[in-house]
Amino acid sequence: MGSMYMKRLPRKNFRLRKKKHKIICERCGKEDFVDFVPKGTAPVFCEGCYRNMRKQEKRLKRTESNS
């Protein structure tokens, strides 16, 4: 009965994306973890800053194509 539970557990963990690489955000200096390997040459950002930047990028492209 216990073995069944033990078998299911690793599968469940495997589906989760593990954020194990520690980074320090270039923008706000916050420590965060990412699920990719930082290159070291390019600036890395925490999830919040990254999302904000992506939003701004999209907005910029929109206004560019509109005008």
Burial 51-63 (b: 16+ CB within 10 A, else e): eeeeeeeeeeeee
How far is Cα of residue 57 from the mean position of the Cα atoms in its chain?
17
Q: What is the CA radius of gyration of the chain?
A: 19
> Least distance from C-beta 45 to Zn ion, angstroms?
5
The least CB distance from residue 34 to Zn ion, in Å, is 12
Our CB check for Zn ion shows the closer of 27 and 34 to be 27
Residues of the shown chain interacting with Zn ion in the complex, contacts defined by CB under 5 A:
25, 27-28, 30, 46, 49
Q: Toward Zn ion, which CB reaches closer, 48 or 62?
A: 48
